[in-house]
Chain A
Amino acid sequence: MKQTLLFLSNLSKQFGGKTVLDSLDLEIYDGEFITLLGPSGCGKTTLLRMMAGFDLPDHGIVTLSGVDITQTPPEQRPLNTVFQNYALFPHMSVFDNVAYGLKMEKRPKAEIRDRVDEALAMVQLEDFAKRKPHQLSGGQQQRVAIARAVVKRPKMLLLDEPLSALDYKLRRTMQVELKRLQRELGITFVFVTHDQEEALSMSDRIVVLKDGRVQQLGTPREVYERPANVFTARFVGQTNFFPGRVTRIEGDRISVDVFGLNRELSKPPFRIAMNQSLHVLLRPEDIRVLAPDDTDGVAGKIVERNYKGSTLDSVIELEDGIQVMASEFFDEDDPAFDYSIGERVRVSWVDGWEWLLAEESDEPLTDEEELAADDAEH
């Protein structure tokens, strides 16, 4: 039975006339790892700051375990935050940083010492208690920030892009470690990031945000495999958008024409009509690159090849100019696999792996969102 821990109802916030949050509702369950994902300016940080109490909503209510905390100042909320650049107190030792929250609670000295030691042991920094923050590496500072926030045993831990300042390898290590911590402590984690890969690998649920509205709320698998709209599909992972046209509707099966190929698919949950255009979404890993003499698929030629270690990524240009991204796993025994640039191939996909979306009056990603999405892929 999932219990609601934090409930955000109808939250709105404007900064200088610009709407940052737009009548947003969100329910966070006890003990889950939930990620707020979106490009910069989507409202994710503001949302987190409202949970912490640093920003107050213009409208709406925040309740924690059923108690209204909308106007409660941050020092009285049983939640703690891990800040983006750690915000460690530079004049205090690691020990004093971690002990700060307990000193504020006026705990006895012995208890403070035990609990700080325990928290430092949890993040493997027992030997660094006497150091000052500037004597630590970025990863170690990150651990201190986490220890400082969890030592108070909050009901909920808010993490504001905590890994964005770390290099790729360290980020992967910290991702695993954060997951371990969350399992061990059983605390609800609210994690803010613009890195979709991070969101997919760590979360129980993902909230995709854009322009202060929830675009999709679901498990990583739902968000990746069944994006609710074009924005989510574009922002989370790479996607090929193929133009499709409905040619037949029969019961819960429909036929869709894609590049002249007639594909039979199950009926999507939205309303469709004959001859309607829709998006046929295929992830690069769903695409099959076939030999030019194959009977299946659409003709095209390879314009880009990228060796990625475990996969080989290609861009194939179809005859009508559309570019298709394909990502294939290596099969060294398959001689046909190794196409070179300029070579003619055919493109197909496994039936049933498509995802249909209705056409919407959507704008393409802004430059900034494009950057954030690109950034997230590395």
Chain B
Amino acid sequence: MRWLSRSYLALVYLLLYVPIIVLVVFSFNDSRTGYSWGGLSLRWYESLFNNHAMVQAMWNSLWLALTAATVSTLIGALTALALHRYRFRGKKVLNGMLFVVMMSPEIVLAISLLGLFLLLGLQLGYVSLLLAHVTFCLPFVVITVMARLAGFDERLPEAARDLGASDFTMTRTVLIPVIMPALMAGWLLGFTLSMDDVVVSTFVSGPSYEILPLRIYSMVRVGLKPEVNALGTLLLVFSLVMLMMSQWILSRSKQ
């Protein structure tokens, strides 16, 4: 029984990781075709960095993800606080609308955003992408922060006030530090969502601002180039570093 459960577990992990391992291994493959092994080489990394359009798309994507995650964390945190602290008319409706955005098919959001931007006469580019990305990141941030606030001891703000802190000082010294892990989690979630979004971005991006997922998509359409493996490996390393960093910050804040 023991070996059965072990091998089952191994199988699950194998299925999860084999594609990733293949991608990493083939990124160092010297062969032109993606299906045969031709020895170790860094040539695809080299050609990747020589591809000016590709590097530009990478920077664009990074910048977009960074700004979208930051803006949605700011707005999302304030929304979560308002929903948590105050009672007002339409609170339930507002709360439910978050889930509508989260659950509705991406294609619907994409079409409606495109329609809106065209209606407003907004030129498709960085600004339209940012607005779109903030829109779909927002509910995730709000829900992450609200989950943290649900476990927040309501006596803490009172204790701070009791000890002489104004409402603003209390927010700065008690509320924000306590919900910091949720803010960071929300930010990372937003960053990741923005980084690999294809559907919405396809609709609302313009020729002036090309981003990585779309670039990869158009590259792959004309045939799988080994460059893509190298790019995938880099992205993998990048997200691993991000993950480790967030874990490190979280464990440090707990001590």
Q: Please give the residue numbers on chain A whose beta carbons come within 8 Å of chain B beta carbons, in ascending order.
A: 52-54, 73-76, 79-81, 83-85, 87-91, 100-101, 104-105, 132, 148-149, 152
Contact = CB atoms under 8 A, between A and B. Distances in A.
Interface centre among A83, A87, A105, A148 (most CB of B within 10 A): A87
Contacts of B158: 52, 54, 74, 81, 83, 87
B246 to A, nearest CB: 17
A85 B166 contact: no
Contacts of B161: 53-54, 73-75
B252 to A, nearest CB: 11
Interface of B: 153, 155-156, 158-166, 169, 173-174, 177-178, 180, 253, 255
Contacts of A54: 158, 161-162
21 contacts: A52-B158, A52-B162, A54-B161, A74-B158, A75-B161, A76-B164, A81-B159, A83-B158, A83-B159, A87-B153, A87-B159, A89-B156, A89-B159, A89-B178, A91-B177, A91-B180, A104-B164, A104-B165, A105-B164, A148-B163, A149-B163
B138 to A, nearest CB: 26
Nearest to A84: B155
Contact of A91 (B162, B163, B253): B253
A75 B153 contact: no
Contacts of B162: 52, 54, 74-75, 79-81, 149
A81 B155 CA distance: 11
B178 A87 contact: no
B155 A83 contact: yes
Given A87-B155, A132-B255, A101 B177 contact: no
A54 B158 CA distance: 7
Contacts of A53: 161
B163 A104 contact: yes
| 4 tightest Cβ-Cβ pairs between the two chains A and B | A104-B164, A87-B155, A101-B163, A87-B159
B5 to A, nearest CB: 35
A80 B158 CA distance: 11
Contacts of A79: 162
A152 B253 contact: no
A80 B155 contact: no
Contacts of A100: 160, 163, 165, 173
A87 B156 contact: yes
Contacts of A152: 163-164
Given A73-B161, A75-B162, A148-B163, A104 B169 contact: yes
A80 B156 contact: no
Contacts of B163: 75, 80, 100-101, 104, 148-149, 152
Contacts of B255: 132
B153 to A, nearest CB: 6
A225 B162 CA distance: 37
A80 B155 CA distance: 13
A87 B156 CA distance: 5
A350 to B, nearest CB: 48
A196 B160 CA distance: 30
Given A83-B155, A104-B169, A89 B164 contact: no
Given A89-B174, A91-B178, A75 B155 contact: no
Contacts of A148: 159, 163
Nearest to B159: A87
A90 B165 contact: no
Nearest to B156: A87
A83 B159 CA distance: 8
A154 B177 CA distance: 27
Contacts of B169: 104
Nearest to A91: B177
Given A100-B165, A104-B163, A104-B169, 17 more contacts: A52-B162, A73-B161, A74-B158, A79-B162, A81-B159, A83-B159, A85-B155, A87-B153, A87-B156, A89-B160, A89-B174, A91-B177, A91-B180, A91-B253, A101-B164, A148-B159, A148-B163
Contacts of A89: 156, 159-160, 174, 178
Contacts of A80: 162-163
B87 to A, nearest CB: 12
Contacts of A74: 158, 161-162
B249 to A, nearest CB: 13
Given A73-B161, A74-B162, A85 B153 contact: yes
Contacts of A101: 163-164
A53 B157 CA distance: 13
A101 B255 CA distance: 23
Nearest to B169: A104
Nearest to A151: B163
A64 B161 CA distance: 18
